[in-house]
Structure formats: C-alpha cells, structure tokens
Amino acid sequence: MLGIPIYIPIVYNYTMRKEVTLDKLMVKHKGRIISINGSGAVFRRILEMGVTKGAVVEVVKVAPLGDPIDVKVRGYNLSLRKEEAAMIVVEVSE
C-alpha cells in the first residue's frame, strides 16, 4: 500500500450526567435535585420548603439582575436567592 493512514472513528457508548447548580439552570429547563450543599439555618429552611433530594425543579423566571430566581418545585412556585440556588445541585433533564 501507499502508507496512507486510515482513521476509523471510535464511538463511545455511554451516557453523561450533566450536573449544574440551580442558579446556572436556564429558564424553562428542568432538573432533578441531586444534593443540597450547605448547613445551618438556610439549609434547614430550604429543606422545610420542600426542596429535597430527588424532587424535580423547573426554573420559571429570573429577575433582571439575576436575583431572585423563581422555581417550581412540587407543584408550587418558590423564590430563591442566587446564593441559595447555588447550594442546590441538579441533574439536567432533556
């Protein structure tokens, strides 16, 4: 042969979980809560509002300056500060 290299594409068959914090999730996108990072009174208040591991959350709207963020969780709307939303890690739904 002429010594021309032949490239065969390799296809990887795996799924990647895309994890982001809630403050990075775009409007009208949904995600499932994976973890809530934090402690103290703010952490407890977030849990009491129904934001728990496994719950599906959707970003409804974001204020013009990015704070607060209006999310829908367990059938009701909830406004979270950007710092609070940054504590919540979600797996993005397609």
Q: Give pLDDT, residue 1.
A: 52
pLDDT at 23 over 50: yes
**What pLDDT sits at residue 93?**
80
| Best CA proximity match to 67, nearest among 44, 48, 86, 43 | 86
Angle at the Cα of 38 (from 24 to 29), degrees rounded to 5?
25
Q: What is the mean pLDDT of residues 17-43?
A: 88
pLDDT(13) > 50: no
How confident is the model over 33-85, as pLDDT tens digits? 999 988 888 888 888 888 889 999 999 999 888 889 999 999 999 999 999 99
Q: What is the pLDDT of residue 60?
A: 94
- Structural domains of the chain, ranges and CATH numbers in brackets: 19-92 (2.30.30.90)
Q: Which two tokens stand for residue 58?
A: 């959707």
**Which has the closest alpha carbon to 82: 60, 62, 54?**
62
State the DSSP H helix or E strand holding residue 84, giving kind and residue range, or none if neither. helix 82-85
